[in-house]
Amino acid sequence: MSTEEQTETVRRPKSIEGHVRGVTRMVEEDQYSLAIIQQIQAIQGALEKLNLLILGAHMHECVATAVRSQDASEREHVIRELLDVFATSQDL
């Protein structure tokens, strides 16, 4: 991961954390429910962007290396890892 990508990957969760604290305050202050839901949806979108950023880095580094490898078991391992991650996310 480049330095710029690493910086962005570290920045995003901190920003998301701040938004989650904001939602907590909104709930504590009994603010309008739809406003809270909109903020939660924004957080979910930010988490998805973070997932894509990290997945992209993984694909460019680990997956690309495994696909180029002569070792079939390494390729299968990386494919299994990706499938497991997506299967787990579907269970949530």
| pLDDT interval class at 2 (50, 70, 90) | confident
What pLDDT, on the 0 to 100 scale, is given for residue 66? 84
Average the pLDDT over 4-28 and give the result: 94
Question: 10 Å Cβ neighbour count for 78?
Answer: 19
- Cα distance between residue 12 and residue 21, in whole Å: 14
Residue 72 has pLDDT above 90, yes or no: no
pTM for this structure?
0.78
What is the average pLDDT value for the chain, to the nearest integer? 90
Question: 10 Å Cβ neighbour count for 92?
Answer: 4
| Fold classified for 3-91 | Methane Monooxygenase Hydroxylase; Chain G, domain 1 (1.20.58)
Q: Which of 29-38, 56-65, 69-78, 82-91 has the highest mean pLDDT?
A: 29-38
CA distances from 21 to 6, 14, 36, 39, 50 (A): 24, 11, 12, 11, 18
- Tell me the pLDDT tens digit for each residue of 43-66: 999 999 999 999 988 888 888 888
- Cα distance between residue 55 and residue 35, in whole Å: 30
Q: Where are the domains of the chain?
A: 3-91
